[in-house]
Amino acid sequence: MSESAIGLREQKRWETSHRIALCAQRLADAHGLDGFTMDDLADAAEVSRRTLFNYFPSKLDAVLGTIPEIPPAALATFHTGGPHGSLVEDLGALAKALLSVKEPDREAMVLSRRVLAGSSRVLAAAHQRFEQITEDFVALILDREGPDFDVERARLAVRILGSLFDSALLTFIEGDERPIDVLFDHYLNEARSLFA
């Protein structure tokens, strides 16, 4: 199978996953997490029940959605010490690579935040997911920097950058017209000046 065919298939899979997650969030927003069934979700997303379960094993997973994968080229560049040669800058580049998978949708982000705020179960699951993502990024750092790099320092770097990324998302949601990657760079520069 050609690379373009694989890319198109992955793009279609991502779009379907995103559509299902958006429908799940809309249903959770309107009825609460326990107020709809997987059959309701399949109908809303216009997919079969079997297809739905191929994407998400539960309503909670559907509401949280799929985490986009970092493009392999960006991972390879990070692993070899690039693209800037600075760990913090290069972690930022990985975060931006995640954004490049799909253009951020302000309305969907507002909905997602509202669903998180409205359900302690969803919020707890999102926190658990964030912790797993943190550990995944820590593993990437240790793989790149070597086993002597301090694990707690790696976690701190990821958590700080996560906070900056969250600040960029909030600013974007509040109506700032700048792209999220530009906002992220803005907050990274602000953090540098605070810690200088």
DSSP string over 136-191: HHHHHHHHHH-TTS-HHHHHHHHHHHHHHHHHHHHHHHTT--S-HHHHHHHHHHHH
Q: How far apart are CA 85 and CA 79, in angstroms?
A: 11
Does 67-196 carry CATH code 1.10.10.60? no
The predicted pLDDT at position 96 comes to: 82
8 Å CB contact between 68 and 48: no
The predicted pLDDT at position 57 comes to: 96
The predicted pLDDT at position 13 comes to: 87
Q: Compute the residue count for the chain.
A: 196
- Which residue in the block uniquely carries the two structure tokens 């520069």? 189
The model carries a pTM of 0.85
Q: Out of 3.40.120.10, 1.10.150.530, 1.10.10.60, 3.40.50.300, which CATH number does the structure's domain 1-64 have?
A: 1.10.10.60
The predicted pLDDT at position 4 comes to: 55
pLDDT one digit per residue (tens) for the chain, 196 residues:
445 555 678 778 888 999 999 999 999 999 999 999 999 999 999 999 999 999 999 999 999 998 878 889 999 999 999 999 999 889 989 888 877 767 778 898 999 999 999 999 999 999 999 999 999 999 999 999 998 999 999 999 999 999 999 999 999 999 999 988 899 999 999 998 998 7
The predicted pLDDT at position 69 comes to: 83
Domain boundaries, the chain: 1-64, 67-196
The predicted pLDDT at position 163 comes to: 93
Q: How far apart are CA 61 and CA 78, in angstroms?
A: 29
